[in-house]
Structure 1
Amino acid sequence: MDELVERVDDQDRVLGAVVSRRQAIQEGWLHRVAATVCRDERGRILVHRRSEQLTRFPGLYEIVVGGAVDVGESYEEAASRELAEELGIHVLPRLLFTFLNRSGLSPHWLGVHEAVVPDAVVPDPDEVAWHSWLSEPELRSALLEWRFTPDSNEAFSRYLTFRSARS
């Protein structure tokens, strides 16, 4: 069963049309995706490699944990649900910003969150093949050497810009 999402416009306003995520991707219709940058108490960032059995970007690395915002969900609710599904943790991530993301399979609004999570996450092996905690310098090196999902670089770059603007 494919996920159901709400179509949104170029201002991230819900249009009232409910469609499958597959159809939204195929047609290039805007919809919402929630993603969370996970940090531990020492400030390291969780990086993971997607399972080979996933239909979207199998085996590629990611900086964020996330997925589609279901019908009627907020960005925060979707981000929290995805953290529970993929990492087995129950936290309420903080929405930092949204942007119209044109990288990846199709354009979508990406809500970028941040959460401080425990070191001991229990990833769902159907979703996550490998994970590790990297410092920002280690992550910058990995971005140059490993194959990341198309929106990982964009999301991380915007995340760092957001954080430095708040400092």
Structure 2
Amino acid sequence: MGERVERVDEQDRVLGVVDRDEAIREGWPHRVATTVCRDARGRVLVHRRPEHLSRFPGHHDWLIGGAVEVGESYEEAASREPAEELGVRARVRFVFTFLCRGAISTYWLGVHEAVVTQPLTPDPSEIAWHGWFSEAEFREVIRERLFVPDGLDALRRHPGLGSPAATRPPTPPRW
């Protein structure tokens, strides 16, 4: 049996416990928690997913996250994920949740932020590369690199970083 998650409805109310792969296969909403990591200078962490991953191999992302475990809160999961993927512990601050009609499945996405002051030790099975970007550099990198589409959806909704212009690919020149 795989990873167990809480199946939820479109108002984020728990309906029961299911296997995450089954929830994805059946299109049942479940919960995912993410953290936007910033350093002490306010720069945003961007990472690239390894090529061997089944979901979005080689794509970049600005969110560190994963499924919310059974009985776990969004905040608990958002705190756990940076420890697992980056080897750091940081206090998370809730930003927002929304029903994400994701590229692979529908799920409730909880977005949090944390200031990371410790050196990162990324798990190579989760993160192939990482870098810190000022907000201006971040807006450039999301136009230049291939990003996880669900992360771009979350970025459009982010009250501090999001804007339609920030997440649109550049307009090709007209000749």
TM over 0.5: yes
CA distance in 1, matches of 2:102, 2:7: 18
Partner of 1:97: 96
Aligned to 1:52, what secondary structure does the other structure show?
coil
Partner of 2:10: 10
CA distance in 1, matches of 2:101, 2:62: 17
Partner of 1:149: 148
Residue 83 of structure 2 contacts residue 89 of structure 2 at CA under 8 Å; is this kept in 1?
A: yes
After superposing on structure 2, the runs of 4+ consecutive aligned residues of structure 1 that deviate more than 3 Å are: 160-164
Judged with a 3 Å threshold, the aligned counterparts in structure 2 of structure 1 residues 4 and 102 are, in CA distance, closer, same or farther, namely same
Partner of 1:24: 23
1:134 aligns with 2:133: yes
63-72 vs 84-93, greater mean Cα deviation: 84-93
Which amino acid letter does the alignment assign opposite residue 131 of structure 2? S
Pairing 1:59-98 to 2, within 5 Å after superposition:
59-98=58-97
Q: CA deviation at 1:103?
A: 2.4
Which amino acid letter does the alignment assign opposite residue 100 of structure 2? N
Q: CA deviation digits over 1:67-100, x for unaligned, max 9?
A: 0001000001111111110000112311111000
Aligned to 2:83, what secondary structure does the other structure show?
helix
Partner of 1:121: 120
Q: CA deviation at 1:163?
A: 8.4
Aligned to 1:128, what secondary structure does the other structure show?
coil
Q: CA deviation at 1:162?
A: 7.7
Question: Which runs of no fewer than 5 residues in structure 2 stay unpaired?
Answer: 164-175
Equivalenced residue count is 163
CA distance in 1, matches of 2:88, 2:152: 25
Question: Which runs of no fewer than 5 residues in structure 1 stay unpaired?
Answer: none
Compute the TM-score of the two structures, normalised by the length of structure 1.
0.92
Residue 87 of structure 2 contacts residue 121 of structure 2 at CA under 8 Å; is this kept in 1?
A: yes
Larger Rg: 2
Aligned to 2:47, what secondary structure does the other structure show?
strand
Judged with a 3 Å threshold, the aligned counterparts in structure 2 of structure 1 residues 103 and 163 are, in CA distance, closer, same or farther, namely closer
> Alpha carbon RMSD of aligned pairs, Å?
1.7
Q: CA deviation at 1:118?
A: 2.0
Compute the TM-score of the two structures, normalised by the length of structure 2.
0.88
Identity of aligned residues (%): 61
